[in-house]
Amino acid sequence: MTISVEALLLTKQYSSQPKGSRPALDAVDLHVEAGQLYGLVGPDGAGKTTLLRILSTVMNPTSGSARLMGYDVNKQAEQVRSRLGYMPQAFSLYPDLSVMENLRFFADINGVPRGKQKSRIEELLEFARLTDFTSRRSENLSGGMRKKLALACALVHEPEILLLDEPTTGVDPVSRRELWQLLAKVIQQGVTVLVSTPYMDEAERCNMVSIIYQGRILTTGAPADLERQMPFRIVEIKAKPRGTLRQVVDKTDGGYGWRAVGDRLRLSVVDPAEAQARIKANLETAGAQISILREARILMEDVFIYLVEQQEKQA
């Protein structure tokens, strides 16, 4: 097993933070195997961007250490950068340059030999489906096309590791799907990808995930394993009137936790069969019309909500 990305007790306390406040990163450990698609999952302000900035050598940690491909991000920054592709969350391209000009610029600054640039850029234009837009300024690209161009620029020097900070934030669903399809191709080429995301459905696409909240890693594992480890099952309900459904669920003996997802409620229960029978009887007594009452698959969103609630109870 080869570890491509490693962080040990990584901590970052910004000077602008009030004295005694929780650090932006709090003793984070991270181990990403070579060739993995690894998800760093958490809400805004969880510490995802701070962690990726440290790993990409953009900033130094307050304490702890980190290595990429065995190189220390503080002491051997140049060796790290030559092996790393980094796509920050904010738009990092030059808006007044065309698609082709941006790719050539990033090829130059990353040391891609001139004799190899033409073939590499043509390969990336086809890969990102930007062949027909080479002369368009990046400021005139759609959000999804900008993200694909940024990804191509991050890959132009054929890095061994790719760090992506919320690459699909602010793009439409079709572009989100296309970006993940491109990442699947990157993984097939043997590149290790560490991607941060606030979207729980994207976490399920990863080989491994770490859930980060308030600067701390709450858990790490394969999405399917984390879902199986939960101490509850999920029952999904849809009934009318909606107000009656919520009243019945609130008053049902057993104190089931629930959350609304669209026009349905998802209940966390110990015994799905018993819960369905109890809820069904109470809804029918209240005169509600039941259209859905079934056990549903545990999702990463359920895992995240449970872990955050447990963390806050312990705080």
Which residues contact residue 283 at a Cβ distance below 8 angstroms, ignoring those fewer than 6 apart?
237, 239, 244, 245, 248, 290, 293
Residue 314 lies in a domain: no
- 93 pLDDT higher than 60: yes
| pLDDT reported for residue 298 | 94
Q: Assess whether 71 and 194 both reside in one domain.
A: yes
Residue 114 lies in a domain: yes
- 85 pLDDT higher than 60: yes
- 134 pLDDT higher than 90: yes
Q: Assess whether 83 and 151 both reside in one domain.
A: yes
Could you give the CA distance from residue 136 to residue 121 in angstroms, rounded to a whole number? 15
Residue 187 lies in a domain: yes
| pLDDT reported for residue 250 | 82
Q: Assess whether 123 and 269 both reside in one domain.
A: no
Residue 169, domain CATH: 3.40.50.300
- 255 pLDDT higher than 60: no
Structural tokens at position 286: 């209240």
Q: Assess whether 188 and 252 both reside in one domain.
A: no
What mean pLDDT is predicted for residues 27-50?
Answer: 95
Q: Assess whether 204 and 73 both reside in one domain.
A: yes
Q: Assess whether 24 and 122 both reside in one domain.
A: yes
Q: Do 34 and 8 touch, CB atoms closer than 8 A?
A: no
Q: Do 298 and 227 touch, CB atoms closer than 8 A?
A: yes
Number of independent structural domains in the chain: 2
Please give the backbone phi and psi of residue 12, each rounded to the nearest 5 degrees, phi first.
-135, 120
- 251 pLDDT higher than 80: no
3-state secondary structure labels for all residues of the chain:
CCEEEEEEEEEECCCCCCCCCCCCEEEEEEEEECCCEEEEECCCCCCHHHHHHHHCCCCCCCEEEEEECCEECCCCHHHHHHCEEEECCCCCCCCCCEHHHHHHHHHHHCCCCHHHHHHHHHHHHHHCCCHHHCCCEHHHCCHHHHHHHHHHHHHCCCCCEEEEECCCCCCCHHHHHHHHHHHHHHHHCCCEEEEEECCHHHHCCCCEEEEEECCEEEEEECHHHHHHCCCCEEEEEEEECHHHHHHHHHHCCCCCEEEEECCEEEEEECCHHHHHHHHHHHHHHCCCEEEEEEEECCCHHHHHHHHHHHHHHHC
Q: Residue 216: which domain range?
A: 3-221
16 band by pLDDT with thresholds 50, 70 and 90: confident
- 90 pLDDT higher than 90: no
Residue 148 lies in a domain: yes
Q: Assess whether 59 and 184 both reside in one domain.
A: yes
Q: Assess whether 14 and 152 both reside in one domain.
A: yes
63 band by pLDDT with thresholds 50, 70 and 90: very high
Residue 204 lies in a domain: yes
Q: Do 237 and 292 touch, CB atoms closer than 8 A?
A: yes
What mean pLDDT is predicted for residues 267-281?
Answer: 90
Q: Which of 9-18, 32-41, 296-305 has the lowest mean pLDDT?
A: 9-18
Residue at a domain's end among 197, 221, 245: 221
Q: Assess whether 243 and 139 both reside in one domain.
A: no
What mean pLDDT is predicted for residues 50-54?
Answer: 96
- 87 pLDDT higher than 90: yes
Q: Which of 8-22, 68-82, 155-169, 232-246 has the lowest mean pLDDT?
A: 8-22
Residue 309 lies in a domain: no
What mean pLDDT is predicted for residues 215-226?
Answer: 95
Q: Assess whether 91 and 114 both reside in one domain.
A: yes
| pLDDT reported for residue 312 | 83
Residue given tokens 């015994």 in the structure block: 271
| pLDDT reported for residue 254 | 55
Q: Do 98 and 134 touch, CB atoms closer than 8 A?
A: yes
Q: Assess whether 131 and 236 both reside in one domain.
A: no
| pLDDT reported for residue 105 | 94
- Side-chain half-sphere of 165: how many Cα atoms within 13 Å? 21
Residue 313 lies in a domain: no
Q: Assess whether 288 and 195 both reside in one domain.
A: no
pTM for this prediction: 0.90
167: cis peptide before it, omega within 30°?
A: no
Residue 243, domain CATH: 3.30.70.100
- 253 pLDDT higher than 70: no
18 band by pLDDT with thresholds 50, 70 and 90: confident
Structural tokens at position 100: 């082709």
Give me the amino acid identity at 96.
D
Residue 172 lies in a domain: yes
**Percentage of residues of the chain with pLDDT beyond 90:** 71
Other beta carbons less than 10 A from residue 153's beta carbon:
26
Q: What b-and-e string marks burial along 85-109, b requiring 16 or more CB atoms within 10 Å of the CB?
A: bbbbeebebeeeebbebbbbebbee
Per-residue pLDDT of 159-200, as tens digits, reads 999 999 999 988 888 888 989 999 999 999 999 999 999 999
